[in-house]
Amino acid sequence: MKNKIGITVLFICISVMVKGQNDSDRKYWADLAYKISAPVLENMSKGELSKNMQLELSPTWDGRDKRVSYMEAFGRLIDGIAPWLALPDDNTTEGRQRKQLREWALASYVHAVNPDSPDYLLWRNEGQPLVDAAYIASSFLRAPQQLWEPLDSLTKQRYIAEFQQLRRIDPPYTNWFLFSATIESFLLSIDANPDIFRIHTAIRKVDEWYVGDGWYSDGESFAFDYYNSYVIQPMYVLVLKTLANKKLRMRDRAADFPQKQYEIALKRMQRFGMILERFISPEGSFPVFGRSSTYRLAVFQPISLLVWKENLPEELSEGQVRAALTAVMKRMFAQQGNFNEKGFLQLGFAGHQTGLADWYSNNGSMYITSEVFLPLGLPANHSFWTSPAQNWTQKKAWSGEEFPKDHAVKY
């Protein structure tokens, strides 16, 4: 009897310890997401982002209108936290943070398209607005009931007009095709006269650019960088899923093409997610290569998207993915210099490293790191958050544990 009691007590203690660790993981994610988001959304909700955000431009800045920085900060940030803001309110500390951010976000959406607001974004100058308008459109697709539907009719009309006038921009023969397609997919979702040609063209070209084993080239030439993470994989599946949901076929393809192609693209992203997980070292670092390395944790957008949509491949457990991503976050944001004195992100990768910035980068660009927070869109009692933490692949490999062999796939 004593042995049974002892075993029961031990089991309870272990369960409490595991639950505490898991709760701590989510709290860390939520607190970090709030820390990154609050300076942008609180200021913009009052029409004061352009007044109070300290801009930092790349040392090799190309001379474009620096006001693109505000659109980049808002668009990229809101896309990553949209699923989290879509959760229902509750009385927890996290719930209060989330509610506050949602209220600020809804007010910020209004300022973004109000020509009389100091924070009216740079919709009608330069070519860069096409990029960050796509992230705003994506946020509406990710949380339509919480972020699009509550907006007043005038604000909605303004967004439709701003999205449609972006057709003035001829996207280069690269991942930019997906920015146009994402915007038009949102317009399709609300039956607002979308340009179907832009959607179909992006789908055809991205599929042509698939090079195998989960990777796409960025246009006709392959570049070894993380643009599969930042843009190509997430926006491609988003566009395909929107088309499939609307049951809109392509004239030269079978009637079920959008859904079938979505399923293929999802399998490719699952493979890419496996590769990303294997990039994470036992110490929580990952290899830095290619342009836009200052986008920080946006590298893991595909795997975060797979988690949020409950589409992780069977080779990856929720516990190992959560543990791996948490380790990377803690390693990166324990470094001093990621934020300036007012709490805005600075140029850099792990800290303040201005020399890493590309000619098109500013500190507004840095907010794409929020794409890693997509799993916060799962409730706290979801198995992703409650599963015991597990060693990820490289940690197993370098600890002498058994770990799965890797092999290429063909889709």
For residue 348, the tally of other CB atoms under 10 A from its CB is 22
Asked if 251 contacts 309 with a C-beta cutoff of 8 angstroms, the reply is no
**DSSP result, 250-276:** -TTS-TTHHHHHHHHHHHHHHHHHHHH
Cβ–Cβ < 8 Å for 279, 297: no
In this predicted structure, what is the pLDDT of residue 1? 52
Nearest-5° Cα angle at 79, 76 to 81: 110
**Which pLDDT score is estimated for 23?**
77
CB 354 within 8 A of CB 308: no
pLDDT tens string, the chain, 411 residues long: the values are 555 555 444 444 434 444 455 679 999 999 999 999 999 999 999 999 999 999 999 999 999 999 999 999 999 999 999 999 999 999 999 999 999 999 999 999 999 999 999 999 999 988 999 999 999 999 999 999 999 999 999 999 999 999 999 999 999 999 999 999 999 999 999 999 999 999 999 999 999 999 999 999 999 999 999 999 999 999 999 999 999 999 887 777 877 888 999 999 999 999 999 999 999 999 999 999 999 999 999 999 999 999 999 999 999 999 999 999 999 999 999 999 999 999 999 999 999 999 999 999 999 999 999 999 999 999 999 999 999 999 999 999 999 999 999 999 988
- Is 324 in contact with 390 (CB distance < 8 Å)? no
Determine the pLDDT at residue 29: 98
If you search the block for the tokens 């796409």, which residue do you land on?
A: 216
Q: Supply the angle between the helices 233-245 and 129-142 in degrees, to the nearest 10.
A: 50
Query: What is the reported pLDDT for 21?
Result: 54
Q: Any alpha helices (H) in 254-388, and if so which ranges?
A: 257-279, 301-308, 318-333, 383-386
pTM: 0.94
pLDDT at 224: 95
* AA identity, residue 153: S
Contact 272, 212 (CB under 8 A): no
Instruction: Of 269, 262, 266, give the one whose Cα is nearest residue 244.
Output: 262
Domain borders along the chain are: 18-397
Beta-strand ranges (E) seen in 172-302 are: 210-212, 215-216
- pLDDT at 22 (0 to 100): 67
For residue 252, the model assigns a pLDDT of 79
Q: Which fold has domain 18-397?
A: Glycosyltransferase (1.50.10)
- pLDDT for the residue numbered 233: 98
